[in-house]
Structure 1
Amino acid sequence: MGAILPVFPLGTVLFPGLVLPLHIFEERYRTLVRDLVATTDDEPHEFGVITLRQGLEAPAPFDAGPGEDDDERPEAPAVTADQLYDVGCTAELRQVTELPDGRFDIVTVGRRRFRLLSLAADGHPYLTAEVEWLPDEEPGDETAQLLAPRVLAAFRTYLDLLRPDSEVLDQVPDDPTVLSHLIAATAQLTIDERQDLLAAPDTATRLRAELRLLNREAGLLARVRAVPVPLSDLARPMSPN
């Protein structure tokens, strides 16, 4: 039997080490935050973020937006396992701010990957699931060490074409795994592509896939920039992530 984990379906893909702020307004997920805060210090204060398949409604990230009243927003409908991707990442609570009306602003950081086995029926108001933990990736993999400089160079080229003033690479991580997660979360990719990267069995596989994707995207951007119309008119739409 796998571990039982509270899970939060979202329209985004979370990667280990990446920051995810959220605005919690649904009552069931307010309960989740309160339950996590109440756990003992020796237990991880984490929940699973698992991505809804495209076309489904997802809770809004962090801010409801100007003019929106959280009390008037209906709770998202219950989801089934086939509406979710099967690989997710836990989000560890790092900061919790309770608002006067009981809502929360929270800051989380991606921690560890898991595979969804089944949704659980355990009486909690929020969604829980049986999961298996995916193995940690070895930081000293020689192939990943060799691939990392090539992927980083491709990422620099891609960012120079996309937004030359980007500050993403002001501090480049030395660890190939951390680099692979940063690229996967930052590049303008589809949900399916991000999910494939999250589910990659190891860092080297993820880096190889990113090298292909970055070269493809850089080629598309270079061709677009050669056309005498604004880049914003021709570039692919931003991912909802």
Structure 2
Amino acid sequence: MTHSEGPGGHPATPTMLPLFPLRTVAFPGVHLPLHIFEPRYRQLTLDLITEVVPDRLFGVVTIADPTVQEVEDLAHVHPTGCATRLREARRLPDGRFDIVVTGHRRFRLVDIDAETTPYLRGTVEWVDDEHVPDGAEDAASRLADACRVAHRRYCSVAWESDSWRSPPPDTPSETLAYQVISDCLLPLSDRRELLEERHPLRRLRLAYHLLRREAAFVSELGAVPPSQHEADETLLRPNPN
């Protein structure tokens, strides 16, 4: 089991977070729209809005078995998740919510509490990146440039419009892989692999290969996926809970 470390290399103190099991993967630094209709997650949303939940943070974990109707223990979800922070919320007349959250930090789930609150809570250990050795700046820059080229290529063949945009030039190399891959439709297994990769350079390399592979598939099949970057400005395509 991989443990996160706090300052000085000491094991980090476990943290309790509300949990939202979904059939998707949240990435640090990437916006995710959600449509909230279950009563327990309506309550979670209210607790986030009113900051009953500290820092408006909750954890998104990926459901491991598509046949599972009710997540109750660790075996039902993948252990690596992403804490997300509520960014925007719109309450609908019938009590449902459309919200946008932003990925904050990866964690490893070590325990689930299904009794204390209407929604799940989990004990998590934060998972940070491995250290990149001094002198690796040139390699990181080359990989970042290659990822941006692969991202432009993918978007040019996958999208019918030219409304997509590249990540800002000042996007840190640690989060660039998440940014470029968020525009790409991928199997959950690929998204999980990207989230679980702790080395920034290996993560950039993985994103580069995934973008090239998907661009080739789209070119061959002529399939056009929807744009995901529009979550920055709109709540129009939320994922249901």
Judge same fold: TM > 0.5, yes or no. Answer: yes
What is residue 143 of structure 2 aligned with on the other side? 147
> Which range is displaced more, 30-39 or 163-172?
163-172
1:4 aligned residue:
16
Bigger Cα displacement from structure 2, 32-41 vs 154-163: 32-41
d(CA) in 2 for partners of 1:136 and 1:159? 28
CA contact (8 A) 1:93 1:107 kept: yes
2:133 maps to 1:115:
no
Match of 2:177 among 173, 177, 180: 180
Equivalent in the alignment of 1:203: 200
Amino acid in the other structure paired with 1:118: D
Moved over 6 A (4+): 137-140
Structure 1 stretches lacking a partner, 5+ long: 58-75, 226-230
- The answer to whether the aligner puts 1:189 opposite 2:181 as a matched pair is no
Number of matched pairs = 213
TM-score (norm 2): 0.75
User: TM-score by structure 1 length?
Assistant: 0.75
Tell me which moved more, 101-110 or 123-132: 101-110
Which residue identity lines up with residue 45 of structure 1 in the other structure? R
Q: Which runs of 5+ in 2 are unaligned?
A: 1-12, 228-238
Deviation track 1:105-159 (CA, whole Å, cap 9, x = no partner) reads 2221111111111212451110111111111577996232231001211222222
Identity of aligned residues (%): 37
Q: Which moved more, 1:97-106 or 1:4-13?
A: 97-106
| C-alpha separation in 2, matches of 1:97 and 1:213 | 34
The 8 Å contact of residues 137 and 177 in structure 1, kept in 2 or not, is answered as: no
Q: Distance in 2 between matches of 1:193 and 1:54?
A: 16
Secondary structure in structure 1 of the residue aligned to 2:182: helix
Is contact 2:19–2:121 with CA below 8 Å preserved after alignment?
yes
1:14 is matched with: 26
Q: Residue 187 and residue 129 in structure 1: after superposition, are their counterparts in 2 closer, same or farther (change >3 A)?
A: same
Aligned partner of 1:95 in structure 2 is 88
